[in-house]
Amino acid sequence: MSDHTISSRKVAVIGGGPAGLMAAEMLIAHDMAVDLYDAMPSVGRKFLLAGKGGMNLTHTEASAAFLSRYGSRAPQIAPMLQAFDPDALRAWVHELGIETFVGSSGRVFPIDMKAAPLLRAWLKRLRDAGVTFHMRHRWLGWDEAGKLRFATPEGEHKLQADATILALGGGSWARLGSDGAWLPLLAQHGIAAAPLKPANCGFDTGWSEHFQQRFAGQPLKSVIASCIDIDGIEYKRQGDFVVTGTGIEGSLVYALSAHLREQIVRQGYATLTLDLAPGKTFERVLNEISQPRGARSMASHLQSKVGITGVKAGLLREVVAKEDYAHSHTLAQAIKALPLRLVAVRPLDEAISSAGGVLFEALDKSLMTQNMPGVFCAGEMLDWEAPTGGYLLSACFASGRTAGLGAAEWLQAKDRQ
């Protein structure tokens, strides 16, 4: 942090998630006076909840593969991630006194797997550097004079800022603060945004009552899931997911959720194809199940020959017609390519994250809005999406950094005029 005197320039950062906090850090390092506002009683609520199952900060895969996770928005995300890549993010976490390690999947975690110690260390650094925090301040937009409006427990508060960074989150997990209420406020000022949609979300299948009662809540382990997107490109991933009362969710599903969601939008349903025996070829599965089973039941035959048991066996029974069990070729095909029909996307508020948001085309390269000079946007409120696995947080940190540096440079340029 800089030891220089704080500038008379006042910057408002609205939103206390990773993007807003990173923007505040960049601004205070460039001697700006920073006030950070958040609607909730404390900052980083979604960050803390996301870290409950293990705080996945970023990923160590090669940069080309890493960038590909951002789909059609990879070209816009790329310069931000090049300026603050996963190695730089890890180094920054280490500076806060938090050690990290790489898991077997290539994901990066704090050594204790928790988000809270990292957030505490970060907030201490920001407060010590001079960032002022204002909690329970819900942003209401701008008044006619261009002042920022906030609803607070003491009534409405107004502020004239020299620059504003909006890091208001997406539309998922509204109870933690990201409710998408900012969309109409920006629309009033002609800042273009795409509607918010669920990302990293679950899907409904319409299970039979028997399957639902027997298997809801159970994990389906070690399967390959594939789908074909609306352009005819096949996407394939291996991993685990969970059967829910209404359908499916979990990391393997999230990795393909953007393509599945768009299929449902386009044609009313999506097909997720499952390989229930990833370690065996079709020929081997066919050979194994074609062998005489004698007095054994079909269930014990499939278990001993191909390892199909429990929820996998239940899923096979759910999808495959009873008479097809008599045909080894048809059954082997189903084991290697079981078509699961998905009929609806789970609601936005249940999703891990959201797609849609402020269009990059409405912003310049420093994430300043074209329509309102001095107003910058960062984090999940931008129009991008990525699977879980560290990609979401990486882009939130990087975009907050870009917006913070952009606002500092814009104000410094104004001071030089």
pLDDT digits (tens, 9 = 90+) for 223-252: 999 999 888 999 999 999 999 999 999 999
Q: Are residues 148 and 41 in the same domain?
A: yes
Q: Are residues 278 and 396 in the same domain?
A: no
Query: Which 3 state secondary structure label does DSSP give 335?
Result: helix
Cα–Cα distance, 108 to 86 (Å, whole number): 9
Q: Are residues 219 and 323 in the same domain?
A: yes
pLDDT of residue 132: 98
pLDDT of residue 5: 52
Q: Are residues 248 and 334 in the same domain?
A: yes
Q: Are residues 194 and 208 in the same domain?
A: no
Range of the domain at 210: 203-345
Q: Are residues 244 and 292 in the same domain?
A: yes
Cα–Cα distance, 244 to 38 (Å, whole number): 34
Q: Are residues 108 and 207 in the same domain?
A: no
In one-letter notation, the amino acid at residue 143 is: D
Q: Which of 345, 374, 398 is the last residue of a domain?
A: 345
Q: Are residues 296 and 394 in the same domain?
A: no
The neighbour count for residue 81, using CB atoms within 10 Å, is 24
In one-letter notation, the amino acid at residue 155 is: G
Residue 2 is assigned to a structural domain of this protein: no
Tell me, what CATH number does 183's domain have?
3.50.50.60
Sheet of 100-102, strand order? 58-59, 107-110, 100-102
Residue in the block written with tokens 């370690």: 279
- Say if CB 360 and CB 24 are below 8 A apart: no
pLDDT of residue 239: 93
Beta-bridge mates of residue 353: 199
Q: Are residues 159 and 254 in the same domain?
A: no
Residue 3 is assigned to a structural domain of this protein: no
Residue 338 is assigned to a structural domain of this protein: yes
Q: What is the DSSP string of 62-101?
A: -HHHHHHTTGGGHHHHHHHHHHS-HHHHHHHHHHTT--EE
Sequence-ordered alpha helix ranges (H) in 96-156: 116-129
Give the CB-side neighbour count of residue 298, counting CA atoms within 13 A.
13
Residue 1 is assigned to a structural domain of this protein: no
Q: Are residues 290 and 374 in the same domain?
A: no
**pLDDT under 50: residue ranges of the chain:** 1-4
Q: Are residues 163 and 215 in the same domain?
A: no
Q: Are residues 173 and 221 in the same domain?
A: no
Q: What's the predicted TM-score (pTM) here?
A: 0.91
Residue 239 is assigned to a structural domain of this protein: yes
Q: Which of 345, 372, 396 is the last residue of a domain?
A: 345
DSSP one-letter code for 5: P
Return the closest-CA partner of residue 270 out of 185, 201, 178, 191. 201
Average per-residue pLDDT for the chain:
94
Cα–Cα distance, 10 to 34 (Å, whole number): 6
Q: Which of 317, 345, 373 is the last residue of a domain?
A: 345
Residue in the block written with tokens 């920006």: 186
Q: Torsions phi, psi of 405, nearest 5?
A: -65, -40
- Say if CB 340 and CB 272 are below 8 A apart: yes
Q: How far is CA 269 from CA 73, 241, 272, 340, 342, in A?
A: 25, 19, 10, 10, 6
Residue in the block written with tokens 């699977």: 387
Cα–Cα distance, 377 to 17 (Å, whole number): 13
Query: Which 3 state secondary structure label does DSSP give 142?
Result: strand
Residue 154 is assigned to a structural domain of this protein: yes
Q: How many domains does the chain have?
A: 2
